[in-house]
Structure 1
């Protein structure tokens, strides 16, 4: 990948000599309704200096350690443990409130639903087990515990599940789950969904079948360190697997709870409906963890979360959708040094008005659609990623402006190395009213390599503007040679002359026709 510049350009020149025409388009031609095509484009060479960027400054991760988590545990005040009814508990309204939601737990508990509560101070899980009747929580083998009721950490509670617990099993049949409304520390242990009838893990069977889960509410802190969580979650709100979620706006106002936060460090998540989900969460850190063989998503931060750090993780084998996705105003966050591969759809997705994010130094390969996908999300920086051997496009940008692609390698992808396009989504099921966007695309591509991709190195339809500089495009896979698609194909000779022979920046800008100016 690190070819000498002279070798790059000699290889590229050889490829150009072979060119006998344009490669076929990577996508079906867009209709007039889909695209507002400019009639003509100008090709020029602006000064290179404005395109220069220093490598991005990454967050310092040195403070996010197991030792730092231990220092956060306040054991000075002994908490209280009780078993009481789930009814009228604010932090359980999502599961026991109106619309007959409580019927699930009446059925599973064979009576009025109850839960185990931790309130007003610190409780060690082993000590908790000694204060609860054995029919609700018992040690089945040394260090192995089976919980048959939900466990709730109250607003002023602190629950610590540590290495003294080899494994905590949450009973599927009895409807056990974890809710954190205070502070939860899970360290050096395993917490899994458990199917008592099978005497084994509650492996996924169907989307609407209850499985245990973990939910942390607004104002909480959740820390999961050097632990395994598995066999969690199903297709019901707040019950996805490991979820960090704000209360509803009315409850936020009533309870005065801020945004939740926490850290996940060095842990593993497997066979979850969602490996990780968050909603209106701030400053959450997911570091050096593994998300494997989860059902819908690996890591899925959502609505209005911000300043998230997703770094050093390995995400693979997601069965239905993407490895890592941030969606709907997930802003000002960092996704770097991750590996995302062999996921059913894309490796990394930035979606639905998520802006000011950095996606850097990730290795994204063998995903079953695109490597990196940006949908309706402008003002993002994509830096130094290796996007290799994905089945469709390496980097796909839809309806997004001011996308800066610096020093990325997009190699051996099935279709286009970098594909930019616009699309009319008015007839889709996406919530356009809540997520307005402009059907426009603009890109700055500086440095890096677009090599050996199946259809073309680069294809852009109807851009507001495109700027290219020092982009190496090598080793075309088609016998016709190296070709550019979309509007770039019409002006390919000029573009490559500036970019390759003269080694100058290229600016592609639309020009209004006389008819458009009259309109």
Structure 2
């Protein structure tokens, strides 16, 4: 257990480590922080929550890592991060350059109630697939010079703002087969390039898909959207979008005001994912014992103070 530290666990230039069954909780900054060429890790079946910034972050030249079957929740910033990081050989921040984190796989994780769920900042060939994200302020973010990022088959439920947000430089992303239920916006491309295919976006409060700024090489096909916002697909000062790049999307359910029979709500998710019930028992049952015990301790302490 890595609890109540400044950093939970930190590695530097470590390779081929296996981390499994660990707890990273209530640390000041990060729960788990592999750094600087920490490569080929298997980080599987761990728990990270209530950390001051990110629950799990691989930063600065961390490549070929697998982050799988973890639970990360209630962290103040991100649940899981893959980050380039920057370094200046001469110590001058103005001369800093990115050290990419490439070919990492973030798969089958449960990410709940963080400021942002999963973030990929830079790097090439990273994969975010088959994760479940519930109740995060933002869902999946891809930014900076990230190239060839695959965002596939994730379930993203009840997001406060944007469920899948590509902005500020990523190119050649593929966003496919994701199921989004309940968000302000389903998918945004802002100064980003990516192909959006086969995504199901329901319960959108503003737009299903937004293109803005430079979106060269982008397109949206075979997506299905329902919601009650102003428009399903919005072009906000978008440039570089090729003719016929947006086609064959099913928008029949837009502005209907009625939920589709195929919408996947949080209730549906809990009923069809028994692992959620398991995690709830793991997390909540200890609280049922801890809270009364803590109240008794406080009561005893107060009685001792009474003259």
CA contact (8 A) 2:136 2:158 kept: yes
Q: What is residue 354 of structure 1 aligned with on the other side?
A: 192
Q: Distance in 2 between matches of 1:251 and 1:327?
A: 28
Q: What whole-Å deviation, never above 9, does each CA across 1:106-133 have from its counterpart, x for those lacking one?
A: xxxxxxxxxxxxxxxxxxxxxxxxxxxx
Q: What is residue 186 of structure 1 aligned with on the other side?
A: 43
Q: What whole-Å deviation, never above 9, does each CA across 1:432-472 have from its counterpart, x for those lacking one?
A: xxxxxxxxxxxxxxxxxxxx79xxxxxxxxxxxxxxxxxxx
User: Which of 133, 147, 167 is 1:306 aligned to?
Assistant: 147
Q: Distance in 2 between matches of 1:227 and 1:348?
A: 25
Q: 1:229 aligned to 2:229?
A: no
- Listed as ranges, the matches of 1:16-415 within 5 Å are 145-149=1-5, 150=7, 151-162=9-20, 165=21, 167-172=22-27, 177-181=31-35, 182-183=38-39, 184-187=41-44, 189-193=45-49, 202=50, 210-211=52-53, 213-221=55-63, 222-234=65-77, 240-248=78-86, 250=88, 257-295=99-137, 297-319=138-160, 321-343=161-183, 345-351=184-190, 353-355=191-193, 357-379=194-216, 380-401=218-239, 402-403=241-242, 404-414=245-255
Q: What whole-Å deviation, never above 9, does each CA across 1:151-208 have from its counterpart, x for those lacking one?
A: 111113443222xx2x513234x65622112033221x23122xxxxxxxx3xxxxxx
Q: Distance in 2 between matches of 1:374 and 1:247?
A: 27
* TM-score, structure 1 normalization: 0.44
Gaps of 5+ in 1: 1-144, 194-201, 203-208, 235-239, 415-451, 454-519
Residue 284 (structure 1) shift:
0.6
Q: What is residue 291 of structure 2 aligned with on the other side?
A: none
Q: Distance in 1 between matches of 2:69 and 2:80?
A: 15
Q: Distance in 1 between matches of 2:112 and 2:129?
A: 16
Q: Secondary structure at the match of 1:161?
A: strand
Gaps of 5+ in 2: 258-307
Give the CA RMSD over aligned residues.
2.5
Q: Secondary structure at the match of 1:354?
A: coil
Residue 407 (structure 1) shift:
0.9
CA contact (8 A) 1:394 1:411 kept: no
CA contact (8 A) 2:30 2:56 kept: no
Q: Secondary structure at the match of 1:282?
A: coil
Structure with bigger strand share is: 2
Structure number with the bigger relative contact order (C-alpha 8 A, sep ≥ 6) is 1
- Listed as ranges, the matches of 1:447-462 within 5 Å are none
Q: Distance in 2 between matches of 1:230 and 1:259?
A: 23
* Corresponding residue pairs, total: 243
CA contact (8 A) 1:148 1:175 kept: no
Q: What is residue 422 of structure 1 aligned with on the other side?
A: none
Residue 212 (structure 1) shift:
5.1
Structure 2 vs 1, CA of residues 375 and 212 (structure 1 numbering), >3 Å: closer, same or farther? Answer: closer
Q: Distance in 1 between matches of 2:204 and 2:223?
A: 15
CA contact (8 A) 2:109 2:131 kept: yes
Structure 2 vs 1, CA of residues 393 and 219 (structure 1 numbering), >3 Å: closer, same or farther? Answer: same
Q: Distance in 1 between matches of 2:88 and 2:102?
A: 16
CA contact (8 A) 2:60 2:99 kept: yes
CA contact (8 A) 2:68 2:109 kept: yes
CA contact (8 A) 1:288 1:312 kept: yes
Structure 2 vs 1, CA of residues 241 and 251 (structure 1 numbering), >3 Å: closer, same or farther? Answer: farther
Q: Secondary structure at the match of 2:88?
A: helix
CA contact (8 A) 1:246 1:281 kept: yes
Structure 2 vs 1, CA of residues 175 and 266 (structure 1 numbering), >3 Å: closer, same or farther? Answer: closer
Rg larger in 1 or in 2? 1
Residue 327 (structure 1) shift:
0.3
